[in-house]
Amino acid sequence: MNDMTDEERQLVEWLADMNEDDALALAKRMLLEDKKNPMRVLELCRAAMDIVGKRFEEGEYFLPELVLAGEMLETIGAIAKPLIKLGDGGEAKKHGKVLIGTVHGDLHDIGKNIVSFMLDINGFEVKDIGVDVPVRTFIDEINTWQPDVVGLSGFLTLAFESMKETIAAFESAGMRDKFKVMIGGGQIDDTVKNYTGADAFGVNAVEAVALCRRWMGVAA
Across residues 19-44, what is the average pLDDT?
A: 93
Same domain, 207 and 177: yes
pLDDT at position 2, please? Answer: 64
C-alpha dist (Å) from residue 54 to 48, 97, 99, 157, 180 = 10, 31, 27, 14, 29
Same domain, 45 and 106: no
For residue 12, give the CATH number of its domain.
Answer: 1.10.1240.10
pLDDT at position 130, please? Answer: 93
pTM: predicted TM-score of the whole model, two decimal places: 0.71
Same domain, 185 and 210: yes
Whether 155 maps to a domain, the answer reads yes
Domain count, the chain: 2
pLDDT digits (tens, 9 = 90+) for 146-185: 999 999 999 888 899 999 999 999 999 999 999 999 999 8
Same domain, 140 and 84: no
Strand, helix or coil for residue 202: strand
- Identify the H or E element spanning 28: helix 20-28
- Max Cα distance, the chain (Å): 54
Q: Range of 68's domain?
A: 6-88
Same domain, 114 and 185: yes
pLDDT digits (tens, 9 = 90+) for 76-97: 988 988 887 644 444 556 889 9
pLDDT at position 103, please? Answer: 96
Same domain, 131 and 49: no
